[in-house]
């Protein structure tokens, strides 16, 4: 037979206080005498009682839960870098993370009823791009929405991200300064904001400096697709001597194809540059030159918005932080 769950009323009876006093004693920010707090805490520990956070949130109208929507949990960048750091920083603020997984091939708006049903204090959307409907509905009910490295043109959502366009320009300058003559771009998933901005910055800067014949293949933000795209580029009669990949995971696939399948010397005969600076990029087997995204600073900027009072929450604030070129051994640098 299941053991009866201990309640705050049970604690109150043994402590000789009222149930509201138990609630105050278990809340470090509430006024109660040190003696009463010590007695209530001791009895609660003895009985194995823990307060019902959900019930408390219904009274305070704040759950201290931040919803995070991701659609690509297999991505090492989002799972290892972004999600882990969000969890650590939210816990340091006394808040909890509630993760929602959106199907990668479906609009994130479809899971809106599920997300809002948990009464999250704010919603951070990372590897998905919402439509107008989710932004409008969240605004109507007073739930702040922050897009992390994403853009939703025409909406009032706040944006925090890396300056992807400037990162693309940096890579173009590095490759041209090193004297590369046959340059290729390996794109990520079509339509995603990160890919659009990285490609725009890269292509615009190439054209500004007089280079117009850039090769292009799509790597769809995956290792295997990166391998396929690399084979297509490197099997050409005029293969590239430099490839800029819109994400590290594709660059790793390109490196493996070049070195181990085709026997190409990297970086002597081929330079490969990625974007993100995932942990694998620094492994000696890859030693990938890449654009480092300032994840901790980006997350801190996003969580600063979470702490705003509802009446002071900014409208359409865009914060773009510069990435940093990390030079390793996969690219020939001037």
Write the class of the CATH domain 8-51: mainly alpha
Which of 43-52, 70-79, 156-165, 260-269 holds the top average pLDDT? 260-269
At 326, is the secondary structure helix, strand, or coil?
Answer: strand
Least confident of 76-80, 95-99, 232-236, 249-253: 76-80
Selection from 61-70, 101-110, 290-299 with the highest mean pLDDT: 290-299
Peptide bond into 89 cis (omega under 30): no
Supply 59's token pair. 């009274």
Q: Best-predicted range by mean pLDDT among 31-35, 51-55, 271-275, 311-315?
A: 271-275
Q: Does pLDDT of 280 surpass 90?
A: yes
What confidence tier does 309 reach under pLDDT thresholds 50, 70, 90?
low
Would you say the pTM of this structure is higher than 0.85? no
Rounded to 10°, the helix 34-47/8-15 angle is 120
User: Are β-strands 145-148 and 158-162 bridged in parallel, bridged antiparallel, or unpaired?
Assistant: parallel
Q: Give 3's pLDDT tier (boundaries 50, 70, 90).
A: low
Give ∠ CA 226-203-173 in degrees, rounded to 5.
95
List alpha helices for the chain, DSSP H.
Answer: 8-15, 19-25, 34-47, 53-60, 76, 84-92, 112-116, 132-141, 164-177, 193-208, 223-234, 248-256, 295-306
Q: Are 160 and 126 contacting, i.e. CB atoms less than 8 angstroms apart? A: no
Percent of the chain residues past pLDDT 90, beyond the cut: 53
What was the pLDDT predicted at 174? 98
Stretch among 10-19, 162-171, 253-262 having the lowest mean pLDDT: 10-19
pLDDT for the residue numbered 292: 97
Binning pLDDT at 50, 70 and 90, where does residue 1 land? very low
pLDDT digits (tens, 9 = 90+) for 190-229: 878 889 999 999 999 999 999 989 999 999 999 999 999 9
| Beta-strand relationship, 318-321 and 271-276 | unpaired
On whether the CB atoms of residues 255 and 271 are closer than 8 A, the answer is no
Q: For 90-117, what is each residue's pLDDT tens digit?
A: 988 888 899 988 776 667 777 877 887 8
Query: For position 314, what pLDDT does the model report?
Result: 61
d(CA 334, CA 325): 14
- Rounded CA separation 19/30 (Å): 14
Domain ranges of the chain: 8-51, 65-162+295-320, 164-294
- Please tell me the CATH code under which domain 65-162+295-320 is placed: 3.40.50.2300
H or E element in which residue 147 lies: strand 145-148
pLDDT score at 129: 72
Are residues 163 and 321 in contact, defined by beta-carbon separation less than 8 angstroms? yes
> Closest Cα partner for 293 from 170, 200, 189?
170
Distances in whole angstroms, Cα of residue 326 to Cα of each of 106, 128, 187, 293: 34, 27, 20, 10
Same fold, 8-51 and 65-162+295-320: no
164-294 maps to which CATH number?
Answer: 3.40.50.2300
Mean pLDDT score across all residues of the chain:
87
Q: What is the DSSP string of 155-219?
A: S--EEEEE-HHHHHHHHHHHHHHTT--SEEEEE-STT-HHHHHHHHHHHHHHHHTT----EEEE-
59 band by pLDDT with thresholds 50, 70 and 90: low
pLDDT at 63 over 50: yes
Residues 131-190 have pLDDT tens digits of 777 788 887 888 888 999 887 777 778 899 999 999 999 999 999 999 999 999 999 988
């Amino acid at each position: 037979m299941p053991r009866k769950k201990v309640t705050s009323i049970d604690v109150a009876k043994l402590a000789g206080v009222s149930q509201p006093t138990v609630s105050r004693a278990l809340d470090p920010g509430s006024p109660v005498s040190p003696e009463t707090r010590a007695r209530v805490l001791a009895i609660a520990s003895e009985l194995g009682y823990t307060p019902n956070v959900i019930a408390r949130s219904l009274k305070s109208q704040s759950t201290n839960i931040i919803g995070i929507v991701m659609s690509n949990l297999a991505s090492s960048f989002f799972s290892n870098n972004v999600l882990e750091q969000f969890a650590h920083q939210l816990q340091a603020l006394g808040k909890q993370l509630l993760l929602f997984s959106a199907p990668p091939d479906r609009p994130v708006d479809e899971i809106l009823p599920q997300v809002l049903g948990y009464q999250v204090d704010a919603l951070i959307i990372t590897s998905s791009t919402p439509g107008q409907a989710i932004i409008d509905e969240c605004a109507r009910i007073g739930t702040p929405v922050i897009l992390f490295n994403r853009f939703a043109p025409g909406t009032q959502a706040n944006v925090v991200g890396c300056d992807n366009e400037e990162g693309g320009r940096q890579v173009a300058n590095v490759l041209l300064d090193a004297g590369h003559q046959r340059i290729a771009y390996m794109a990520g998933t079509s339509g995603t904001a990160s890919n659009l901005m990285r490609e725009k910055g890269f292509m615009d800067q190439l054209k500004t400096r007089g280079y117009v014949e850039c090769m292009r293949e799509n790597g769809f933000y995956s290792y295997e697709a990166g391998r396929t795209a690399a084979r297509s580029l490197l099997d050409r009669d005029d293969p590239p001597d430099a490839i800029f990949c819109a994400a590290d995971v594709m660059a790793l696939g390109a490196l493996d194809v070049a070195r181990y399948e085709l026997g190409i010397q990297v970086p002597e005969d081929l330079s490969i540059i990625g974007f993100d600076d995932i942990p694998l990029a620094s492994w000696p087997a890859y030693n990938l030159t890449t654009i480092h995204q300032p994840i901790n600073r980006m997350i801190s900027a996003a969580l600063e918005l979470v702490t705003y009072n509802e009446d002071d929450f900014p409208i359409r604030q865009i914060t773009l932080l510069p990435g940093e070129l990390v030079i390793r051994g996969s690219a020939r640098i001037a």
